[in-house]
């Protein structure tokens, strides 16, 4: 019987482990793949308070080592379900084992939705990015492209326009899902170019991005843009369907929870990008981890 089982070894999950362990609880962290989450692919983090520069890999490794040093048990097993047996009685089922615990913290994160292009995965960190605020500064003075039509894409294009010589905003439709105010602000930027009714159909370059191929949906015409970076903002994909029996999911699949990280099921908490929230950043994931851990500790002790 563990005090707390944490599902996910990203920033939120490992931070939760650190706070729970420091509160004297026994902790098991279950991770399907590898520790670190999305941040592990970021070459340089510059927006985490108190740390001027650190790679995503080093940041995640430091978190991992800190949790391990405090006594966290970390296993690489895919969680299939969570069963609620009442106060201080939860069961976490994996593909290999079943674990009893008093509380569960779901910190499964969310995947950036890819375009599904050849070489997309291999070029992450070499010109392909899913986070403009994380990586935008590395493209100062260069031409870049943003793909998407929602608020994230619009905000990314605005952010990048302050660093880059030219920003192409590529959207598959002729109208945006993002707020009109933001779109209009972009139209006033001299270095932002709209390319509508179009899809990115190829990534060019061998070891790093050297350009992209864009195909017009209406007439089939193709143009090549010599961009050094492409920022993909076509949504995220949470993986929470396995927990639908114990938590409420919104239409997009995110766990319904406010800043208190409470799910509505006693003893089941959530933290990080997998929950409903307005801002998904490294800092907010860490904050969620702390909040969820302390809430879980209070629930157990109560």
Helix (H, G, I), strand (E, B) or coil at 288: helix
pLDDT digits over 174-230, tens only? 999 888 998 999 999 999 999 999 999 999 999 999 999 999 999 999 999 999 999
Active site annotation includes 135: yes
Give the list of residues 6+ apart from residue 236 with CB closer than 8 angstroms, or none: 110, 111, 112, 113, 273, 280
Return the half-sphere exposure (C-beta side, CA atoms, 13 A cut-off) of residue 197. 7
Active site annotation includes 134: yes
Domains, the chain, in order of start with CATH, read: 2-112+236-301 (3.50.50.60), 128-232 (3.50.50.60)
Written as tens digits, the pLDDT of the chain (302 aa) is 999 999 999 999 999 999 999 999 999 999 999 999 988 867 678 889 999 999 889 999 999 999 999 999 999 999 999 999 999 999 999 999 999 999 999 999 988 889 999 999 999 989 999 888 888 989 999 999 999 998 889 989 999 999 999 999 999 999 998 889 989 999 999 999 999 999 999 999 999 999 999 999 999 999 999 999 999 999 888 989 999 999 999 999 999 999 999 999 999 999 999 999 988 889 999 999 999 999 999 999 98
pLDDT of res. 45:
84
Catalytic residue among 3, 101, 134, 299: 134
Buried b (16+ CB within 10 A) or exposed e, 244-273: eebbebeeeebbebeeebbbebebbbbbbb
Catalytic residue among 3, 135, 156, 288: 135
Active site annotation includes 297: no
Sign of torsion, CA 32 30 72 21?
positive
Helix (H, G, I), strand (E, B) or coil at 98: strand
Residues in the chain: 302
Please state whether the predicted TM-score (pTM) of the whole model is above 0.85: no
Catalytic residue among 131, 164, 261, 297: 131
The C-alpha atoms of residue 42 and residue 288 are separated, in whole angstroms, by 20
Do 276 and 257 contact (CB within 8 A), yes or no? Answer: yes
pLDDT of res. 43:
67
pLDDT of res. 177:
86
- Nearest residue to 282 (alpha-carbon basis) of 44, 22, 21, 28: 44
Q: What separation in angstroms does the CA of 156 have from each of 148, 179, 194? A: 10, 13, 13
């Amino acid at each position: 019987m563990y005090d707390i089982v944490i599902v996910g070894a990203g920033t939120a999950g490992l931070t939760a482990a650190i706070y729970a362990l420091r509160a004297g609880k026994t902790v098991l962290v279950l991770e399907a793949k590898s520790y670190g989450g999305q941040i592990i692919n970021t070459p340089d983090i510059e927006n985490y308070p108190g740390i001027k520069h650190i790679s995503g890999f080093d940041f995640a490794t430091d978190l991992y080592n800190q949790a391990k040093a405090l006594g966290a048990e970390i296993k690489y097993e895919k969680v299939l379900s969570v069963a609620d047996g009442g106060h201080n009685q939860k069961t976490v089922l994996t593909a290999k084992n079943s674990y009893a615990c008093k509380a569960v913290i779901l910190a499964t994160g969310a995947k950036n939705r890819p375009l599904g292009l050849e070489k997309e995965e291999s070029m992450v960190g070499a010109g392909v990015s899913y986070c403009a605020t994380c990586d935008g500064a590395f493209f100062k003075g260069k031409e870049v492209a943003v793909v998407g039509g929602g608020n994230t894409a619009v905000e990314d294009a605005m952010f990048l326009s302050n660093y880059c010589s030219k920003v192409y905003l590529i959207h598959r439709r002729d109208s945006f899902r993002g707020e009109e105010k933001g779109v209009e602000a972009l139209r006033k930027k001299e270095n932002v170019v709209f390319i509508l009714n179009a899809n990115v159909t190829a990534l060019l370059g061998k070891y790093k991005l050297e350009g992209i191929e864009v195909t017009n949906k209406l007439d089939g015409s193709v143009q090549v843009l010599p961009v050094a970076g492409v920022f993909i903002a076509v949504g995220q994909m949470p993986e929470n369907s396995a927990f639908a029996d114990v938590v409420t999911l919104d239409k997009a699949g995110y766990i319904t929870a406010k800043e208190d990280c409470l799910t509505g099921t006693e003893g089941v908490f959530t933290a990080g990008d997998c929950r409903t929230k307005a801002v998904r950043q490294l800092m907010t994931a860490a904050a969620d981890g702390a909040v969820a851990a302390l809430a879980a500790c209070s629930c157990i002790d109560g």
